[in-house]
Amino acid sequence: MKLINNKRYLVFVMLGLVNILIGLAEMLKIIPYSGKATPGVSMIGSGIFVLAIGLYLSRTRESKAMPDERTKKRDMKVHSGALGIVLAYVTLLALMDGLWSSNTINLGGFFLIFNHPGDMSVLFSRYMSIIFVAIVSVVVLTVYLDKKGDV
């Protein structure tokens, strides 16, 4: 297996390996965890996924084609829009946490991401929901601006 000498993809490989090691350490009870759900399996799964992405990108050649101006402008709008959506979502989570701690609102554990973050599983579900919102917003905005045409 011949890897391209590029340090950018080494970050993906290292992040994947670190995720797998943290997941294994949590499953083997090396890292103490007091929550109900165990995030070790999902850490291992995400580590394998990131490791596979890093290995795939390190084996493929980069094209020397420069993106055109329309693609650069679209990507700039997508990234700024996705950042705004993620910041709005994090603000919503912070507001819900403030309302939760003042006992103004009580969802009764229906949405785990809106529960008070005293448990590690709640923080982990918030982290994963923020990543999910970021990925979905980038994909949706990219498809929308591609279909829209003139950016």
Confidence at residue 33, expressed as pLDDT on a 0 to 100 scale: 64
pLDDT in tens, 25-44: 887 777 666 566 567 777 78
pLDDT at 49 (0 to 100):
85
Check whether 57 has a pLDDT greater than 90. Answer: no
Token duo for residue 87: 């910041």
Identify the domain boundary among 17, 34, 65. Answer: 65
Among 4-13, 93-102, 131-140, name the one with the lowest average pLDDT: 93-102
Is a pLDDT exceeding 80 seen at residue 13? yes
Containing structural domain, residue 70: 66-151
Whether residues 60 and 70 share a domain: the answer is no
Among residues 68, 50, 40, the alpha carbon closest in space to that of 12 is found at 50
> For a pLDDT cut of 70, what percent of the chain falls above it?
67
Domain boundary among 41, 65, 89: 65
